[in-house]
Amino acid sequence: MRLLLSRPLPAAVEDRARAEFDTEIRALNTPMSADEMRRALAEFDAVMPTLGDAFSAEVFGHVPRPRCRLLANFGVGYDHIDVDAARSAGIAVTNTPGAVTDATADIAMMLMLMSARRAGEGERLVRAGGWAGWHPTQMLGMHLTDRTVGIVGMGRIGQAVARRCHFGFAMEVRYVSRSAKTLDFPANREGSLTALAAAVDVLVIAVPGGPETRHLIDAGVLAAMQPGAHLVNVARGDVVDEAALIAALEAGRIAGAGLDVYEHEPEVPAALRALENVTLLPHLGTAALDVREGMGMMVLDNVAALAAGQPLPNPV
């Protein structure tokens, strides 16, 4: 079984990959080029792509008889892979659900706190030598306890965020989702996204990426939010209309935002970087060693199943 890993991975994952398969590890941390993707499909039995590796219908079309039988995606989101085109080429696609849930929810909570309590702004103030000392009205933000959180997408990650908000901060939980959910905590399902946006203090985005959710958070949704509300995005960058968000932040129509993802990642607009009322993280959602090891092991479990002729554990 010949395997290509499209990025360097934690040592434990690379060691297992080399021990179990004929493994090539790409040395670069940048997305694969079209030529690299075509070679991957032609020369390997299984490939581990990840965010930015755009396995489009066009790429599959250039390799009419691929050797590859599995794209074992490193990550839960797979909107960079044309799954229908892969299946038409006889290639299965898997992902790494579950392994990313808690780590991503933790980042959402960190962004909620940083934005609401102006932590990023305060950290920059101290580093710049501009802090004149404590006083009673210094950098007053929003206390999250007993506030209302709105979850856009009540899947695994959305539920993990909501659970932390309810049990950890006594927050009222409201949500929108394609279907009603049976939950182990109280939550109210809203009839529309704009109704949700208007009703909450923090709006957290946790939907999958892809054409169906592109610019789901647009100028209309942002206009519906309360002036003191905060937006948090741990989904995909293009779920938010970034230009509309910048306009809302610049005009003070919402109080702040916390972002871990960007519409044209890794490019972050200068206008966004210049704002004090936004917290910006470099896509840290799953950036913890044990989490990335777990994701890598899940990738290899799917490759091992393919090699053994067994059902794939995590098909999409």
Task: Name the residues annotated as catalytic.
Answer: 236, 265, 283
Instruction: Say which residue the tokens 């092991």 belong to.
Output: 297
Contact 183, 151 (CB under 8 A): no
Query: Coil, helix or strand for 189?
Result: strand
180 burial class (0-12, 13-18, 19+ CB within 10 angstroms)?
A: exposed
What backbone torsions phi and psi does residue 136 show, to the nearest 5 degrees? -60, -20
Give the other-Cβ count within 10 Å of 13's Cβ.
23
- Cα dihedral 55, 206, 213, 246 sign: negative
256-259: strand order across its sheet: 188-189, 172-176, 148-152, 202-205, 230-233, 256-259, 278-280
Q: Is 267 exposed, middle or buried (0-12, 13-18, 19+ CB in 10 A)?
A: exposed
CA distance 241 to 272: 12
Q: How far is the first Cα of the chain from the last one, in angstroms, to the nearest whole number?
A: 22
Query: Both tokens of residue 165?
Result: 């908000």
> Rounded to an integer, what distance in angstroms lies between the CA atom of residue 293 and that of residue 287?
10
How far apart CA 304 and CA 174 sit, in angstroms, is: 41
